[in-house]
Structure 1
Amino acid sequence: MPLPGEETEEAVEPAVQGEVEVTFRVTVPNYTPDDAEIYIGGSFNNWNPGDPKTKMTKIAEKTYEITLKFDAGTLVEFKFTRGNWETVEKGEKGEEISNRAIKVKDPGVYEFDVKHWRDFVERGDIEVGIPHTLTGHFEKFQLYSPELNNERTIIVYLPPSYKKDKEKRYPVLYMHDGQNIFDTATSFVGEWEVDETCERLITLGELRELIIVGIYNTGEQRLSEYSPWPFSGDGYSSEGKGDLYVDFIINTLKPYIDTHFRTLTDNDNTAIAGSSMGGLISLYAGFRNPEVFGMVGAMSSSFWITGGKIFEFVENAGVDNLKLYIDIGTAEVEQALKDTRNMIDLLKKLGYTDKNLLYVEDEGGLHNERFWAKRFPTMVKFFFGK
């Protein structure tokens, strides 16, 4: 995926003219599943991470290659994946890496080494040497979802008084992409600092104590689980498992949390929040089940990816009593900014006012964890502030 400000190789005059055959050969980590399919996505195929035309051939144990043709002098940027951006390669310490780049000069074989895969790092399946940054009290466990027929990691933040006051009950905030919200060691490209923020605001007396449930995404199924409707295009696809994912939260996860932790179970004390696709599924969950979720946080939401279906769904839901926090960065994709503004207009048309709708446009804000961390205090205080 092209990233602003990345450095590329200096221009060099090609040694040959015309079309050049280049073979990309890559060695993948030993823990890579034996049946894995390896792809190369880049500037030459619209950054499609699972393009059938760029599926690599296995030539040896953990080694794959593909031969492609380019005009001499072409600057080629690319990354290796296992079929989608949720399984893209990462660096030696699990960090995000810049796009790989070569200047095509002569025919030949270019060899590369993938250090880690994103989904393995984010799930915590492997240790990558990045220090953990958890602040406060946590419990972490695996929970099977009969709705989705998969298992996922759940991480639960407990407020400062939880271990001391054995009678007190607490409101709950459910958050998607759980590996990104508390811990740098498991995050994609930085964490939201949710734990540090809550500890600080609680100490300052600005925030009610609350329990936060982080639901890890499942890597390659993330887009499907976070969208209620199927879609395909531009290298992205979804089977539309959003209803099953919401069912999992309501019918399996929430009962487990309410049974094993001292929670306030009513909708006035239950919030759901996320960013990007997580914002989309949060808004959908709130309007689908307002009797469960009384508060919804939708940051930098991917309303655009549904072809407008989320607007129709919200308009027809007949729900006007949720407490909604919605935001967007003005430096995000123009369509995302336009769609977010359209959503705000629709919500106001439905009767939402400043009393139950907080809209934030972050001037210069980008679509990443750093800006979601910056805006998280505003959201959490809107829901649970004193």
Structure 2
Amino acid sequence: MPRVTLQLTLPPGTPPGTLFLTGDHRAWSSDPHGWTFSGSTLHAELPDGTLAQVKVRRVNPDGTVTEEGDAWGSRARAHRVIVRGDTTLPLTVAGWQDERTGGRRPARSTPPREETVLSAPWGEQPVRLWWPDGHDGPLPLLILHDGQNVFDEGPTFAGDSWDAAGAGRALADAGHPIRIAALPVNDDRSRRYVPFPFEMNDQDSGADEYADWLRGTLLPHLHARFGPIPAQDTALAGSSFGGLITAYAGLRDPGTYGTLGVLSPAVWPADFAFLRWLNGRSDPQARVWIDMGDHEGSSVQGAQEVLHLARDLTAQLTLHVRETHFTVGEGHWHDEPAWKERLPAFLRWWREG
């Protein structure tokens, strides 16, 4: 089995403690056993072809565990490990997550033009809105899930955003202005986005409640404020579980959304229940974009299996919708930088296709 050597560089002033490696290769465990650094080095063995996202954590003298963060004390992007034979990987820790300073990371991308709050069955639902200057009337509408991740970096999960406003501005410059309504989600994400009971939503799906709210509250509110938009000019899009709820809501309510952006769909919950649910579902007027990165798996082989599954999903949908489009993100992992890179192509396909 290949030998992986990780060389650690720490920020000045790192508090004392036991440093260890965690990641998706060990289900993000906080047990340091077998994965502790000796000085600044960790030697490990991982199967050839492993694709892993990893982070450094620190067991403090009082027994608590602190995870590495960005330079502002917020959550940081994971490091990527690709095992092709013996591998040496430098790991630079920018900072440590800190409740006192976290959340102060500066924005690199354009924030929304405004934020409003609507009532929802689960409480108050923020709606983050953007549209290009000089276009205040009715515009084609894109609804995005995971709205905390799509505009500026400040509120994002790990410091990376989709730069949706930048992509929207480029589309407007090409003569296709749109309005974006992004919906932040909290720890209830698995319940709201996964339409089947499984362990991560405590066997209690709220996806139908969410889809009802999209159709019955959000769309009427936006139409009343900005002017009615026909279904063919309305798009729903999201990634991972957001891609799953996009496909589910679109096919559950045919005629509501003209275009579905299904990015890196996570269709595995409840033993791939979504693929069985698809039988008999259709929307003859809908166009569906499906994509997947070629590094979205725990191994090179697993990533190819995920790609094959996404291609099969596209083929299955082709028989039941107006049009499908499938694309592969080369070198793309399952993360915000990948979706940021693919978003402009989806927007062009939606408005120019």
TM range (shorter): 0.7 to 0.9
Residue 312 of structure 1 aligns to a residue in which SS? helix
Q: Which amino acid aligns with 2:267?
A: F
> What value does the CA root-mean-square deviation take over the aligned residues?
3.6
1:289 counterpart = 2:253: yes
CA apart distance, 1:385: 2.1
Aligned residues of 2:117 and 2:125 also touching (Cα < 8 A): yes
| Structure-2 residue corresponding to 1:260 | 225
Q: Distance in 2 between matches of 1:45 and 1:367?
A: 14
Corresponding pairs, count: 298
Aligned residues of 2:69 and 2:96 also touching (Cα < 8 A): no
Summarize deviations over 1:133-178 as a string: whole Å, max 9, x none: 326x7121222212xx222321011233224xxxx42121100011
TM (normalized to structure 1)? Answer: 0.67
Q: Distance in 2 between matches of 1:343 and 1:214?
A: 26
Q: 1:6 to 1:150 in 2, by over 3 A?
A: farther
Q: Which runs of no fewer than 5 residues in structure 1 stay unpaired? A: 11-23, 26-39, 55-67, 81-87, 100-111, 122-126
Of residues 144, 151, 154, the one that matches 2:127 is 154
Q: 1:72 to 1:282 in 2, by over 3 A?
A: closer
Residue 129 of structure 2 aligns to a residue in which SS? strand
* TM alignment of 1:25-104, pairs within 5 A: 42=22, 46-47=26-27, 70=33, 78=57, 90-91=69-70, 92-96=72-76
TM (normalized to structure 2)? Answer: 0.72
Q: Percent identity?
A: 22
Aligned residues of 2:21 and 2:32 also touching (Cα < 8 A): no
Q: Distance in 1 between matches of 2:129 and 2:24?
A: 42
Q: Which runs of no fewer than 5 residues in structure 2 stay unpaired? A: 11-16, 43-55, 60-66, 80-94
Q: Distance in 1 between matches of 2:210 and 2:5?
A: 36
1:384 counterpart = 2:348: no
| Structure-1 residue corresponding to 2:155 | 186
Summarize deviations over 1:114-137 as a string: whole Å, max 9, x none: 4149xx97xxxxx514136326x7
| Structure-2 residue corresponding to 1:214 | 182
Q: Distance in 1 between matches of 2:99 and 2:311?
A: 38
Aligned residues of 2:21 and 2:57 also touching (Cα < 8 A): yes
Aligned residues of 1:329 and 1:363 also touching (Cα < 8 A): yes
Residue 109 of structure 2 aligns to a residue in which SS? coil
Residue 280 of structure 2 aligns to a residue in which SS? helix
Of residues 98, 115, 137, the one that matches 1:115 is 98
| Structure-1 residue corresponding to 2:87 | none
* TM alignment of 1:245-256, pairs within 5 A: 245-256=210-221
Aligned residues of 1:304 and 1:339 also touching (Cα < 8 A): no
1:244 counterpart = 2:209: yes
Q: Which amino acid aligns with 1:156?
A: L
Aligned residues of 1:176 and 1:278 also touching (Cα < 8 A): yes
CA apart distance, 1:375: 1.1
Of residues 219, 224, 233, the one that matches 2:191 is 224
Q: 1:346 to 1:140 in 2, by over 3 A?
A: same
Q: Which amino acid aligns with 1:343?
A: L
Of 243-252 and 322-331, more deviation after overlay is shown by 243-252
CA apart distance, 1:74: 8.0
Q: Distance in 1 between matches of 2:325 and 2:75?
A: 34
Aligned residues of 2:291 and 2:328 also touching (Cα < 8 A): yes
| Structure-2 residue corresponding to 1:139 | 114
| Structure-1 residue corresponding to 2:273 | 309
Q: Which amino acid aligns with 1:209?
A: P
Aligned residues of 1:303 and 1:336 also touching (Cα < 8 A): no
1:200 counterpart = 2:170: yes
Query: Larger radius of gyration, structure 1 or 2?
Result: 1
1:347 counterpart = 2:317: yes
Q: Distance in 2 between matches of 1:97 and 1:221?
A: 21
| Structure-1 residue corresponding to 2:325 | 358
Aligned residues of 1:94 and 1:130 also touching (Cα < 8 A): no
Q: Distance in 2 between matches of 1:368 and 1:5?
A: 24
Q: Which amino acid aligns with 1:316?
A: G
Q: 1:152 to 1:5 in 2, by over 3 A?
A: farther
| Structure-1 residue corresponding to 2:334 | 367
Aligned residues of 1:303 and 1:340 also touching (Cα < 8 A): no
1:175 counterpart = 2:144: yes
CA apart distance, 1:337: 2.0
Q: 1:247 to 1:74 in 2, by over 3 A?
A: same
Q: Distance in 2 between matches of 1:361 and 1:69?
A: 36
Q: 1:311 to 1:186 in 2, by over 3 A?
A: same
Q: 1:6 to 1:171 in 2, by over 3 A?
A: farther
